[in-house]
Amino acid sequence: MIRFHDITLRRGPEPLLEGASAAIDPGHKIGLIGANGSGKSTLLALLRGELATDRGEVEYPGGWRIASMAQETPALERAAVDFVLDGDAVLRAAEQEVAAAGRAGDGHRIASAHARFEAADGYSARARAEELLHGLGFAPADSQRPVSAFSGGWRVRLSLAQALMTPSDLLLLDEPTNHLDLEAVLWLEQWLREYTGTLLLISHDRALLDRVVDGVLHIEQRRLTLYSGGYSDFERQRAERLARQQALYEKQQREIAHMQRFIDRFRAKASKARAAQSRIKALERMERVAPAYADSPFEFGFSDTPAVANPLIMLDGVDLGYAADPVLRGVALSLAKEERVGLLGPNGAGKSTLVRALAGELAPLAGEMVQASGLRVGYFAQHQLEQLDPEASPLAHLQRLSPEASPQRLRDFLGGFAFVGDQATAAVAPLSGGEKARLVLALLVWQQPNLLLLDEPTNHLDLEMRHALTRALQGFTGAVVVVSHDRSLLGATVERYWLVADGGVRGFDGDLDDYHRWLLERRRGGDGPRRGDGRGAREATPEAAHTAEQRKAQRRRQAQQRAALKPLRERAEQLLERIEACDQALARLEAQLADPELYSGDNEALTGLLQEQGRLQRERDALEAQWIEAEEAVEAAQAAGQ
């Protein structure tokens, strides 16, 4: 069992954890979540023995073997498979003993060394390492390439493979899916489900958390709170706890107000002084309930898309690739207005190549590609983060797009993406990967696209930001094409899938579970979907076809719900704008009424201002009542569609 006893951890002057306690039973799989900078990675470092607590103790069995994933992998000349095998120190020691015994020519030592090697599963070790590499997306030939030959993202995969290779009782993983594609995420999920040790997993992938963990350890307000179940269970339990806490807080505030009124009224009266003092002491002794604290993730939305012809893009017999080497051949497809497509396919099959072509960054090698008049593309890809000017501020990036816009308007817009105060005007170089991704999204939203092309947009984004992006995409009225390993994002925002595989692009008549089955069949050497129809073997049965029809109907209902919600949301927003206009007019009137000269001059002017103030207040009250009704209508429509 892991026990955190009243621990305080500091990184800098402020504590990350203060008086925190929790207990994790052996064999449990725990998701570790919390806001960025709350101390998640620091807690893993504590368990690895790299840090000591400032106060309190952490306990776990002394004999436990701990495996963890390094966040940085040096550019070694060692072969990839050997780097992975290095994770098993017992195996490497057994190999060295076998070699030393052979050099010594000692028969007894040789026999003992081979027994030790067998006990370390040495005879199957290389095959197991190759399997890990294959599962994480490496080609067979990659196993002999040096570590230095791989990019940073692929080295992270090598580090993950080494951690999984390490025999362990406690496995610590910090954002293992950040550089994985969907195929590798699905493989990793299955591996973690079968892992028999204790797992502590930091992840922003809610689908992975829901399917792997049986508990969630939440860092909030410098404390640790353990919830049972997956991430969805955590959200429900935390909401219930916050509601109870808020009710207690409000009740206590009413009690405090009542006691304070008694004190203020009677403390000066001799007959009531003792009672008043008693209440003063009661207030001092009272253990205050904090108001319900909830994360305050920002929320953003896309404005209405500009008009554009239909279809947006048509490809006819298009070959796509680099130099004269096509990755995709004979691509024939069209993308309609408001269509929502998720791209599926094995790693390296050409998903990013297709997205680059749709974005206009890659010209066809053959065939014809036609874009509609008025098409405005918003393209998010990982290289966009690298192309940010490190010396320029978020405000400067936005000013380059719209030099005519007022600085205040731009700052207000950036504030919606949590770039406030000095952060809006400071250079972007020190920003984290998540903050840079947030800035790229802000720049994309500002340009009002009618086609969004998103290539792994959730890399580096935390759970709250992913939720905000999902909500924004649900309200987007243009077309969307998404490549993502985040199944929650895909499931909530796309209505159909294209399969990019075997050098072509075709429709996939199924959902992500069907795609997982297709991948498993492909790994076993099966044919997967029949060429040309995009269907897996499971959908050949009447039952499967019925299920596919149900999914289609569900996607149609979701589209209808979005269409029904749009006018309701627009009405609520219009009413809110009118309320804000009333508030501004009332503020101007109050400024006029605060002028002392007004009361010594023309009474008619004063009367007119007071009448206008009364009229505006009545108008505001009526608008507020209508706005509340409009918001309730939106909530009712959302609930009806769930």
Render pLDDT for 87-123 as a digit per residue (tens, 0 to 9).
Answer: 998 999 998 988 998 888 888 889 998 999 999 888 9
Mean pLDDT of 520-539: 49
Same domain, 17 and 101: yes
- Token pair 């290095």 is found at 86
Residue 356 shares a structural domain with residue 504: yes
CB-CB contact of 485 with 205 (8 Å):
yes
> DSSP 3-state assignment of 226?
strand
394 has a pLDDT exceeding 80: yes
- H helix or E strand, kind and range, residue 434: helix 433-446
Q: How many other CB atoms are there within 10 angstroms of residue 204's CB atom? A: 23
Are residues 94 and 225 both part of a single domain? yes
79 domain-assigned: yes
Q: CA-based angle 374:377:379, to the nearest 5?
A: 175
**Are 582 and 501 in a shared domain?**
no
Task: Report long-range pairs for 281-284 (Cβ below 8 Å, ≥24 apart).
Answer: 283/256, 283/259
pLDDT digits (tens, 9 = 90+) for 546-557: 455 665 666 666
CA distance 581 to 113: 83
Residue 315 makes CB contacts below 8 A (sequence gap 6+) with: 331, 332, 333, 334, 357, 364, 367, 368, 369
Please indicate, yes or no, whether residues 473 and 364 belong to a single structural domain of this protein: yes
Host domain of residue 279:
236-285
Burial class (CB in 10 A: 0-12, 13-18, 19+), 616: middle
Residue 302, in any domain of the structure: no
Same-domain status, 450 and 329: yes
Kindly state whether residue 294 falls inside one of the protein's structural domains.
no
Mean pLDDT score of the chain, rounded to an integer? Answer: 83
Q: pLDDT at residue 533 above 60?
A: no
- 317 and 384 in a single domain? The answer is yes
Q: Quick one: what percent of the chain has pLDDT higher than 90?
A: 33
Per the document, the length of the chain is: 642
Q: Is 307 a domain residue? A: no
Lowest mean pLDDT among 129-138, 147-156, 206-215: 147-156
| Residue 44 counted as domain residue | yes
Mean pLDDT of 608-634: 80
Average pLDDT value for residue range 568-584: 81
Do 181 and 213 belong to one domain? yes
301 or 203, which is more confident: 203
Tally the domains of the chain: 4
Do 631 and 574 have their domain in common?
A: yes
**Are residues 130 and 41 part of one domain?**
yes
When pLDDT is averaged across residues 389-398 and rounded to a whole number, the result is 92
| In a shared domain, residues 255 and 324 | no
Q: What is the pLDDT of residues 256-284, one digit of tens each?
A: 777 777 677 666 665 555 556 666 766 66
Residues 280 and 337 in one domain: no
